[in-house]
Structure 1
Amino acid sequence: MAVPSENPIVAANLALVLSKPRGADSPTEALRSALLGVAAIHQSFLLAQGGATPEGADEMMQIAQRFRMTSKLHLTKACSAAEGTRSDASLAAALAIMLLDIFSGGQHWSKDMELAKNLVRLRGGPTLLLARSTPATPGLIEGISRNRLFLDILAVYDMAGCLVSGNTPMLSDARENSWWLSDLYASYSWVESVFGLSRSFLAILARVCFFLSQVARTRTGEITEEARTDLNNLKEGRELYSSLESWRQGIPGLPARVYSGNIIYAKASQILLLRDIFGLDPTDYMVQECVQTILNLSLQCTAINMGVDLIWPVIIAGSHTYGTDRTMVMEVFEAFRTQCCYEIDTSENIVQHVWKRRDQGHPRPEWRHVMEDFGLKPLLV
């Protein structure tokens, strides 16, 4: 939860788990096991942090992985029947497994992501899934309210995954994402409280992810074609940069964490554009201005226990730091540990390898290079 409050994810999932007797329903059993796995991995991290009981941390990690395997078995059985694919609990279980994977360090998530997206497709896509959902009782996270929460989580996880996979985010297709900004479901949005970002801002981030992935794919071929493509890229890159810059002013009345979250992610996206599209050096003052903004705002968020879901911006910013600024990066990661799990270790390792490569003049010093060379495609939020 980016904004401290009653946790809607827990409320939504527990209601599903408690709705059926134990052992009576495969989707529900898949969700039950996945949630137990999430709890176990969190406990493992807490034990590892203490340092006094490493055996206990390892044992709890093994318990978490057994729950994950059990959840996957139940989910496979559930999805073998049409009724199971239409179950809210099946979608919730796939998302809970991905959360377990995030907490475990961010690996082994891609098949679960595809399964979750397929479950949404089998129900007609986001718009139809919401239209067919039962009404929600005021004050309860059920029916359309619960499904909107699940779709919000899936969309954000998907975008985070696309940042490293180069795939197309589900929100980048304007024909398919009308549900995202529709006023019809605005009162059911969970993006601000769960992820600390404005809903409309997520659509901009999806455009950036899509644009960067397209550029990476088209920078091959004849020189003349590359030149024409780069001219188009510069034009679109400037437009996206300006769109991101407009979020610096913020929207009046936003919660402090959401206001900061928008700026932090906008600045991280601008770093990607400055480096990947405009070819600026890591030490360029425009890049470094973005870096400082991200680190300072992230520290401010952690000071009031609102540091969750800011990992990618800190990886991107931290990969462009030098000297004493690196101490600030480590301070941010350390503060994140109070709200996160093993994904912080993965993030720290990536940034530290970047620093080592930059200092040694390595020919592949970027964070993407590090992940490619070490076979990492982590799901991190």
Structure 2
Amino acid sequence: MNGVWTITRKDLVLLVRDKRALVLLVLLPLLFIAVIGMSTGQFLTRDERPRQLRVAVVDLDRSELSQRAVRNLRAHADLAVESFDSQEAAELALRQGVVSALVVLGPHMEERVDELSMRDLLGGDAGGLAQGGDAADVQLEVKSDFADGKLLEYFLVGELYRTVFPVVARRNALFRPYLPPEDGEEDAADAVSNGSDLASNAGAAAQASNPVYRFLVPGFTVMFVFFLINIMARSFIAERDAGTLRRLHLAPIAPVAILLGKTLPFYLTSVLQTALLFLCGRWLFHMPWGSEPVYLVPVILCTSAAATALGLLLATLVRTDQQVSSYGTSIVLVLGGLSGCFIPRAWLPELMKTISLGTPHAWALQAFDAVLTSQQVDSIRVMDCCAVLLGFAAAFFAAGWWRFRAATV
């Protein structure tokens, strides 16, 4: 064991002196996370709410009913409602992608709503509002290339129903007793308007724990943890060229002890790197650590074990620095993209999800997801993922040990 600790101390000193490695392992992933966070409006642009949809509204009716419809839309924290004086300007904003949807409250909205009956609201496909808001002189248009366009359109139709229903139902003797007094309806509308402040506060609360970073921090952390394999392989090549590995091989030290001594400093570096990234995620990006942060510890330890063992295997396979640059970087990027480090795993096709289970990255991401996004952590799922990661680590280490023994140093 003395030989193991001697090798470990020596390599730790070399790692601390290697400023380029420290930049690659800590500062570069933070830069990636910050830049992508800025692109989503979640870092340095804190005035924007996450995933806020911009909706253009043109009120040509200027009636109490149309103003109430606008207030109802503004009450939603996830909508940024922008009022336009002319329909032409709003349509231009939609075409240019400034807004995702357009709502035009026509000049005859209140008159058309007064002509509606309960059959128009409750008649299903035969109702007057079955095909949208034309019967109420309301035009709805969603940008054609917007991914969730249909969902947004259905939501806007629902908001139209919410505004129109009390007005139409009040004229029906069957429904009238179940509605608040007419002056109370205005109070209710005011309550909705005041509720927008509460919604804004809720949005601000959500801003304090940006959900975007629940994916960004673990995803890029896992990817850059595996970037350690490049640094580890270069360390082996440098010592091989300097003759250090040959001298260690001739010394009365078992090959396993040599590999443990060479691997342990990188393992400790990987654990420290991951811990620092999560601390920075909490401090800089207000990323929550889940309901039971203690489960992050085994996930971090097992992920680092798999990464350093893969680095050991790569170090025994490559012979030159050029091979490290080509093979190592390709492995990191391909496995990272395949497993879901760049985009949420939920967005991956089912086939790719299945294939990615052959990578340690995928199991690490699943474990982090189980800890960070669940109200109650599924400990069995976390431990299963950790067990698979340890299995990868054992397989990589065994293969690296076999290659180390077989190779001519």
Q: Could you tell me the TM-score, scaled by structure 2's length?
A: 0.24
Write 1 or 2 for the structure with the bigger share of strand.
2
